[in-house]
Amino acid sequence: MAKSIVESFLKSELEKKGTLLFVLIDSEVSEIETSQNLAKQVEQAGASAILVGGSSATNQIEMSQVVQGIKKNVKIPIILFPGNVTGVVPDADAILFSSLMNSENPYFITQAQALGAPSVLKFGLEPLPTAYLVIGEGTSAWFVGSARGIPHEKPKIAAAYSLAARFLGMRFVYLEAGSGATRPVTPDMVRAVRSVFDGFILVGGGIRDADTAKGLADAGADALVIGTLLEKGGSIEKLVEIAGAVQGI
C-alpha cells in the first residue's frame, strides 16, 4: 500500500501557507498541451496540487494522457478527482477516494468505490479518504451524482454529514457547490463544518474572486479548488490575486 506521501505533503504545505489552492483540470475541457502549460503556470503561481477529473470526465484514455503530460511538467502532486470508476488512471500521485455521501444512488456512495478500489491498489495511488458533499442544486456534479443537494442555508446538515465522515474515519471533506456554480459554498457552512471536523476541508465550485476566497479561507477551509476560472486560457493573474488574499502574500 502506498505511504501517506501526498497527505503529509499537504499537511506541511498547510503549516506554511495557511490555506492551499488546488487547481482542477478537467480532461474533457483541456487539450493535453494546454493542460501541461496550465499546470506549470499554476505551480509557479503557488498552487499546492493539481486535481484531474470531474463528474463529466469519462474518457479514461484522454485522462490518462493528460495526467502523463502534466506529470512531466510539475513537481506538485497530481490528485485524481474521479466522477466514476473511469476516473481511476495510472501515473497520478493520489486519488480523492470519495464517497458522495448525500447521493440518492448507492452506486456513488459505495459501489463505484468497490469497483474502482482494485485499480487504485494496482496503480499504487495514495487514497485520500474523502466525504464528498454536494451543496445546492443544478450543477453537473449534482445531476450526475444523483445528489440530494444540501441547501446552502442549512450549514448544520453539512456539519452533521461531516461529523459522520469523521466518525467513519474519513480525513478529508470536500464541500462541492459544483463546477461553474452561480453560488459558492457559504463561509457559514464552512465554519459549521470546521467546528466538528478536524481533518482537511476542501471547498470548491464557483470561486472566482479574491473576496469569496478570503471569506472561505477565514471560515476554516484548508484548500480551495479552482477550475472554471482557469479553463480555456483563463487568467493566471486572477489565481495569483486569490493566492495573495488567502495566503497573505
Residues from 179 through 198 that contact ligand 1GP (CB under 6 A): 179-181
| From candidates 228, 239, 243, 245, binder to ligand 1GP by CB under 6 A | 228
Q: Is 226 in the site for ligand 1GP (CB under 6 A)?
A: yes
Rg (the chain; Cα; Å): 16
| Shortest reach from residue 139's CB to ligand 1GP, in Å | 8
Q: How many residues does the chain have?
A: 249
Task: Decide whether 57 or 165 has the Cβ nearer to ligand 1GP.
Answer: 57
Binding flag, residue 84, ligand 1GP (CB under 6 A)? no
- Nearest approach in angstroms of CB 147 to ligand 1GP is 12
Interface map 27-66 toward ligand 1GP (x if CB under 6 A): ---------------------------x------------
Decide whether 4 or 41 has the Cβ nearer to ligand 1GP: 41
> Closest CB to ligand 1GP belongs to which residue?
204
What's the min distance (Å) between Cβ of 212 and ligand 1GP?
11
Residue 120 binds ligand 1GP (CB under 6 A): no
- In the numeric block, the cell 506549470 is attached to 40
Are 51 and 77 within 8 A, CB to CB?
Answer: no
Query: What residues numbered 5-24 form the site for ligand 1GP, per CB under 6 A?
Result: 24
All 3 cell numbers of residue 103?
447521493
Other C-beta atoms lying within 10 Å of the C-beta of residue 72: 9
* 206 is an interface residue for ligand 1GP by CB under 6 A: yes
Rounded Cα gap, residues 120 and 63, in angstroms: 15
What span, in angstroms and rounded, lies between the C-alpha atoms of 72 and 33? 12
Asked whether 177 and 135 are in contact (CB, 8 A), the reply is yes
Torsions phi, psi of 28, nearest 5?
-80, -25
Phi-psi region at 170: left, alpha or beta (left = phi > 0; alpha = psi -120 to 50): beta
For residue 110, what is the enclosing H or E element?
Answer: none
Which positions lie near ligand 1GP, rule CB under 6 A? 24, 54, 141, 176, 179-181, 204-207, 225-229
